[in-house]
Amino acid sequence: MTTLNDTIKTAKDSQGAKKTKRIPPEVSILLVLVGISIMFEILGWMFIGQSFLMNMSRLQIIVLQVSVIGIIAIGVTMVIITGGIDLSSGSVVAMSAMIAATFAQSSNWPKVLSPALTDLPFFVPILVGLAVGAMAGFVNGWLITKTKIPPFIATLGMMVSARGVARWYTDGSPVSGFTKEFAMLGNALDRWMPVVIFIVVAIIFHIVMRYTRFGKFTYAIGANPQAARVSGINIDRHLIKVYTIAGLLVGLAAMVAIARIKTAQAGMGLMYELDAIAAAVIGGVSLSGGRGRIAGTVIGALILGVMLSGFTFLRIDAYYQDIIKGAIIVVAVVIDQQRQNKRKKTT
Amino acid sequence: MNSAAVEEAVPVNGAIPREQSFEYVLEVDHVRKEFPGVLALDDVMLKVRPGSVHALMGENGAGKSTLMKVIAGIYQPDSGEIRLRGETITLETPLKAQESGIAMIHQELLLMNQMTVAENIWIRREPTNSFGFIDHSEMHRMTEELFERLNIQLDPEAEISTLSVANRQMVEIAKAVSFNSDVLIMDEPTSAITETEVAHLFDIIRSLRKQGIGIVYITHKMNELFEIADEFSVFRDGKYIGTHASSDVTRDDIIQMMVGRSVDQMFPKEEVELGDVLLSVKNLTLEGVFHDVSFDVRAGEILGFAGLVGSGRSNVAEAIFGVTPADSGTVWINGEEVHIKNPNDAIMQGMAFLTEDRKETGCFLSLDIQENIQSAVLHENFVNSGGFVDQAKLNEESEELCRKLRVKTPNMEESIENLSGGNQQKVLIGRWLLTHPRILILDEPTRGIDVGAKSEIHTLVTQLAHKGVAVIMISSELPEVLGMSDRVLVMHEGHVTGILDRSEADQVSVMNLAAQ
Ligand SMILES: Nc1ncnc2c1ncn2[C@@H]1O[C@H](COP(=O)(O)OP(=O)(O)OP(=O)(O)O)[C@@H](O)[C@H]1O
Ligand SMILES: [Mg+2]
């Protein structure tokens, strides 16, 4: 007669014992970031004779560079959490930038590309850029859910086509000569504007992923689409939303980029998709879906930025930079795998 | 048992009885569903009374799960009608079914493993605060309240991937109950849990029945039918055979209805001349999971493993097979120490291991039956005179096995995902038999398998023992362990608490050792 209680007790003991609070994975990634920074600091004193960290303008450049990739990486993180992937971000940056830029031109620029549409208020090009990005994301999501082709293929197609659109739109010529208003944006807040936007976006989506149903659905679909479906989640509709938001963020990143560098080119954003995916993966987002956090991706993006800046600071050849960067991405995934295996073993 | 406590804790739905102007809470009429090459449901019917448990019986592939998925809005019927509380209803999506008051526990675990217990239970129904944000502490509280009501002791914040299969099943049960639905479908809820949890589940079912809920209960276990079901319906090959009160019939009547023939004796245990010790395990330890496990298995012997959920039976098997190698201790095969670091080493040593969870660690869901059944085979067994793999012989033997195991499928090229749960299980058993193992470890081998095929599998295992194979059989079904084993090893919280001979092993002696 006591067996039921005993089982319950057993079950409780075996499960309850493991109730120890796990250290969030972000902490270990943060330690990596600190470690890398300290490493560059030491190497800096050893080989260059100056400080890596105690240099305000270098820090500013790092975070400015990180901001554009970081905004993209936040959308990519959500896509990867659903179990998908987005290869189109870099090309969509170029497409959004080119199209939006022609709406930002000032009429006293000699090489105006859209004569009828000059001197528009600053928010017009921004809205156009966001809309183009969101449209591209929507098309990605629509293709994936309606035609059932894998995300890899759908976004690969978009990657090639969007780059084509960016080139075709102005026949390959760059667009510049922005209105004062639009150009001001890039200089706003003593040039910290992109960073502020990045932080705001990160906070918003941290909250979205953690405290809204939208976020829970995103994790659920990546963890087990079948289970998500029988729980009453409309998977297709949700995936389209996620890809559209990811596209919107790419459009936003494109606007931040052209407002800062004050020109748009069809070659912009080359390989950004890979940097964004790398930031997410380094930040502990699992490529098999269902696991990962915005905070991790933000730190992942910072790690990439610090490395890039550190290599340049140490005057390491660009070829070596790429080799080392590639190796670090692989190591990040290996560490993630090991962490997951360990988790399994304790079952 | 503890039923009083459970019933007390569950508030019987208010003092006002539900207004009922209908005799049946759920009625299914003339429903037909065809898959390519398979007529899964052929003009079937089902009528479930409120406040009753209606069992659904039938062989593997009879169409039980298909009908349940139609009722839960997952499949659309080709024709037919569903009436809920007397009113005709169409269920286009799972959401519509949930909102109409239908909840379902699926045959296979359908949980988001990377998420917590609470997140899984309340997905899409998370409590929100006035700003529309999810209130995690309220969600935690709701989960604890639900668990208290159902007498389940699990940490709401535990990640599903850290739970045992049985505990995951309890989460599924709690989730289904949390909908407070009028119709609750349970598709083989007891296939992954031990008898003590079954008793617990039955307490829950009884109190739900008292609240006027109509429960559809699918099982292959006859004793459960008599214990919990008020009525039952039988399906065979997609056709409706009949409905009866469970008090009116005998076990043999039901089998006759299900199978259309009578099934031979249940546990065809035969005395086998035991050979030398084939597998010997000494002081095997995996920190925090099991300790100091030692036992021998002789050629031709069937060693049963009994114990409660979480007692470490499956973990020991996984350690021997190299899935998660042990921290210390030794394994000896034929008197020689072996070092098995991964499953490949184990297979090379002539071991075979049927795992407990067919979906997670068994089937390659995207592959067909042929590919699945042949995926563990060592091709040395199938090499022809020219030195090439004799694919024809391999295919022939695979098909032969599928016939023997009664796998119900249009052909060998059918994707395994489209097979019924029990038929998937049969294919996995076939996979390991095809490797011609010396040592066969079976973890819940007859999980979800119908009575007919079950005795078929027991016969096959007995035949293997005859040929000198050493068999370890882990099973939560005590009658199966007792019926098939030469000796029974009992575990409790990671320790071996006793090894009983066939003559001294019975329900009481095993439970005493298992619960200590
Ligand atoms: N999605 C599908 N595609 C093709 N065939 C299917 C599909 N789902 C089920 N079937 C077939 O329909 C028949 C009925 O399957 P179902 O799962 O309903 O059986 P069941 O009675 O639940 O059996 P079990 O006791 O093994 O769970 C089987 O022959 C199966 O192969
Ligand atoms: Mg079934």
Looking at the fold, whether B296 and B369 belong to one and the same domain comes out as: no
pTM of the full structure? 0.85
Looking at the fold, whether B346 and B442 belong to one and the same domain comes out as: yes
Distances in whole angstroms, Cα of residue B187 to Cα of each of B83, B108, B173: 20, 8, 11
Nearest to B312 by CA among B294, B288, B338: B288
Cβ-defined contact of A229 to B94 (cutoff 8 Å): yes
Question: How many domains in chain B?
Answer: 3
Position B4 scores a pLDDT of 44
pLDDT score of A30 more than 80: yes
Nearest to B474 by CA among B451, B496, B445: B445
Looking at the fold, whether B234 and B96 belong to one and the same domain comes out as: yes
Beta bridge partners of residue B174, listed in sequence order:
none
Q: What is the ipTM of this complex?
A: 0.88
- Residue of chain A with shortest Cα separation from B157: A19
Cβ neighbourhood burial of B30 (10 Å; 0-12, 13-18, 19+): middle
* Residue B297 maps to a domain: yes
Position B153 scores a pLDDT of 93
Query: Which residues constitute the domain of residue B291?
Result: 265-350+438-447+468-516
What lies within 8 Å, CB to CB, of A335 at 6+ separation is none
| Residues lining ligand 1, Cβ inside 6 A | B 35, 38, 40, 58, 60-66, 107, 408, 418-423, 448, 450
Three-state SS for A45?
A: helix
Position B21 scores a pLDDT of 74
pLDDT score of A39 more than 50: yes
- Backbone φ/ψ region at B30: left (φ over 0), alpha (ψ -120 to 50), beta: left
- Residue of chain A with shortest Cα separation from B198: A4
Looking at the fold, whether B384 and B483 belong to one and the same domain comes out as: no
Contact B230, B422 (CB under 8 A): no
Taking CA atoms only, the protein residue closest to ligand 1 atom 12 is B40
Looking at the fold, whether B70 and B8 belong to one and the same domain comes out as: yes
pLDDT score of A292 more than 70: yes
State whether the Cα torsion A81-A76-A203-A299 is positive or negative: positive
Ligand nearest to the CA of B235: 1
> How many whole angstroms from its chain centre is CA B98?
24
Ligand nearest to the CA of B69: 1
- Residue of chain A with shortest Cα separation from B318: A345
How many whole angstroms separate alpha carbon B462 and alpha carbon B206? 38
Ligand nearest to the CA of B415: 1
Contact B213, B15 (CB under 8 A): no
Residue B352 tokens, joined: 């075979």
Per CB-CB distance under 8 Å, the chain A contacts of B93 are 232, 234
Buried b (16+ CB within 10 A) or exposed e, B433-471: bbbbbbbbbbbbbbbbbbbbbbbbbbbbbbebbeebbbb
The minimum-distance atom of ligand 1 relative to the CA of B188 is: 27
* Residue B304 maps to a domain: yes
Position B14 scores a pLDDT of 39
DSSP structure string for B367-431: SBHHHHHTTT--GGGGB-TTSSB-HHHHHHHHHHHHHHTT---S-TTSBGGGS-HHHHHHHHHHH
How many whole angstroms separate alpha carbon B81 and alpha carbon B95? 19
Per CB-CB distance under 8 Å, the chain B contacts of A225 are none
* Residue B416 maps to a domain: yes
Contact A88, A143 (CB under 8 A): no
How many whole angstroms separate alpha carbon A87 and alpha carbon A70? 15
Picking from B112, B199, B310, the nearest residue to A14 by CB comes out as B310
How many whole angstroms separate alpha carbon B57 and alpha carbon B48? 14
How many whole angstroms separate alpha carbon B276 and alpha carbon B313? 24
Looking at the fold, whether B342 and B286 belong to one and the same domain comes out as: yes
Alpha helix (H) residue ranges in A212-317: 213-223, 225-230, 235-261, 272-282, 294-313
Position B376 scores a pLDDT of 80
* Cβ atoms within 10 Å, residue B88: 10
How many whole angstroms separate alpha carbon B481 and alpha carbon B500? 12
Residues 255-294 of B with CB under 8 A from A: 288
Distances in whole angstroms, Cα of residue B7 to Cα of each of A24, B52, B150, B210, B224: 40, 16, 9, 9, 20
Q: Which of B436, B455, B490 is the last residue of a domain?
A: B436
Residue B176 tokens, joined: 């289904």
Looking at the fold, whether B404 and B512 belong to one and the same domain comes out as: no
Looking at the fold, whether B327 and B443 belong to one and the same domain comes out as: yes
Closest-CA distance of chain A to residue B437, Å: 26
Q: Which of B246, B263, B280 is the last residue of a domain?
A: B263
Rounded to the nearest angstrom, the distance between the alpha carbon of B438 and the centre of ligand 1 is 33
Task: Give the mutation candidate from B104, B106, B115, B361 for the A interface (greatest A CB count, under 10 A).
Answer: B115
Nearest to A151 by CA among A76, A60, A67, A208: A76
Note whether B7 contacts A: Cβ–Cβ < 8 A: no
Q: How confident is the model at residue A300 (pLDDT cuts 50, 70, 90)?
A: very high
Taking CA atoms only, the protein residue closest to ligand 1 atom 17 is B420
Taking CA atoms only, the protein residue closest to ligand 1 atom 27 is B421
Q: How confident is the model at residue A342 (pLDDT cuts 50, 70, 90)?
A: low
Closest-CA distance of chain B to residue A83, Å: 12
Contact B206, B237 (CB under 8 A): no
Contact B90, B100 (CB under 8 A): no
Contact B103, B185 (CB under 8 A): yes
Picking from B115, B119, B200, the nearest residue to A4 by CB comes out as B200
Half-sphere exposure of B504 (CA within 13 A, CB side): 11
Q: Crossing angle for the helix pair B251-259 and B451-466, nearest 10 degrees?
A: 90
Integer-rounded Cα Rg, in Å, for chain A is 22
The minimum-distance atom of ligand 1 relative to the CA of B419 is: 31
Give the fold, CATH level 3, of A25-346.
ABC transporter involved in vitamin B12 uptake, BtuC (1.10.3470)
Contact A289, A81 (CB under 8 A): yes
Nearest to A67 by CA among A158, A200, A247: A200
What letter represents residue B350's amino acid? G
Position B263 scores a pLDDT of 62
The length of chain A, given as a count of residues: 347
Place of tokens 């950004």: A272
Residue pLDDT, tens place only, A132-178: 999 999 999 999 999 999 999 999 999 999 999 999 999 989 999 99
Residues 302-341 of B with CB under 8 A from A: 308-311, 324
DSSP structure string for A294-325: HHHHHHHHHHHHHHHHHHHHTT--HHHHHHHH
Rounded to the nearest angstrom, the distance between the alpha carbon of B420 and the centre of ligand 2 is 5
How many whole angstroms separate alpha carbon A76 and alpha carbon A300? 13
Position A208 scores a pLDDT of 97
3-class SS letters over B86-155:
CEEECCCCHHHHHHCCEEEECCCCCCCCCCEHHHHHHCCCCCECCCCCECHHHHHHHHHHHHHHHCCCCC
Task: Give the mutation candidate from B153, B289, B361 for the A interface (greatest A CB count, under 10 A).
Answer: B153
Q: Which helix (H) or strand (E) holds B251?
A: helix B251-259
Distances in whole angstroms, Cα of residue B459 to Cα of each of A195, B265, B304, B465: 70, 10, 16, 10
DSSP structure string for B305-358: EEE-TTSSHHHHHHHHTTSS--SEEEEEETTEEE---SHHHHHHTTEEEE-S-H
Rounded to the nearest angstrom, the distance between the alpha carbon of B60 and the centre of ligand 2 is 7
Nearest to B454 by CA among B467, B442, B463, B445: B445
Looking at the fold, whether B278 and B413 belong to one and the same domain comes out as: no
How many whole angstroms separate alpha carbon B217 and alpha carbon B184? 8
> How many whole angstroms from its chain centre is CA A147?
26
Nearest to B491 by CA among B290, B287, B197: B290
The minimum-distance atom of ligand 1 relative to the CA of B68 is: 18
Instruction: With a cut of 50, list the residues of chain B below it in pLDDT.
Output: 1-17
Per CB-CB distance under 8 Å, the chain B contacts of A205 are none
- Between chain A and chain B, the number of residue pairs with CB atoms below 8 A apart is 143
Q: Where are the beta strands (DSSP E) in A32-178?
A: 175-176
How many whole angstroms separate alpha carbon B160 and alpha carbon B167? 9
Position B237 scores a pLDDT of 87
The residue that leads in pLDDT, A237 or A18, is: A237
Rounded to the nearest angstrom, the distance between the alpha carbon of B421 and the centre of ligand 1 is 7
Nearest to B124 by CA among B149, B144, B150, B103: B103
Picking from A18, A211, A220, the nearest residue to B123 by CB comes out as A220
How many whole angstroms separate alpha carbon A4 and alpha carbon B195? 9
Looking at the fold, whether B5 and B61 belong to one and the same domain comes out as: yes
Closest-CA distance of chain B to residue A319, Å: 39
DSSP structure string for A164-211: HHHHHHTTT--EE-B-HHHHHHHHTGGGTHHHHHHHHHHHHHHHHHHH
Task: Give the mutation candidate from A7, A22, A221, A226 for the B interface (greatest B CB count, under 10 A).
Answer: A7
Taking CA atoms only, the protein residue closest to ligand 1 atom 24 is B60
The domain limits of chain A are 25-346
Cβ-defined contact of A7 to B324 (cutoff 8 Å): no
CATH number for the domain harbouring residue B221: 3.40.50.300
Cβ-defined contact of A229 to B308 (cutoff 8 Å): no
Integer-rounded Cα Rg, in Å, for chain B is 24
Looking at the fold, whether B304 and B275 belong to one and the same domain comes out as: yes
Note whether B112 contacts A: Cβ–Cβ < 8 A: yes
* Residue B127 maps to a domain: no
Ligand nearest to the CA of B365: 1
The length of chain B, given as a count of residues: 516
Mean pLDDT throughout A20-26? Answer: 66
Beta bridge partners of residue B185, listed in sequence order:
B104, B216
How many whole angstroms separate alpha carbon B472 and alpha carbon B279? 10
Looking at the fold, whether B442 and B342 belong to one and the same domain comes out as: yes
Note whether B509 contacts A: Cβ–Cβ < 8 A: no
Ligand nearest to the CA of B67: 1
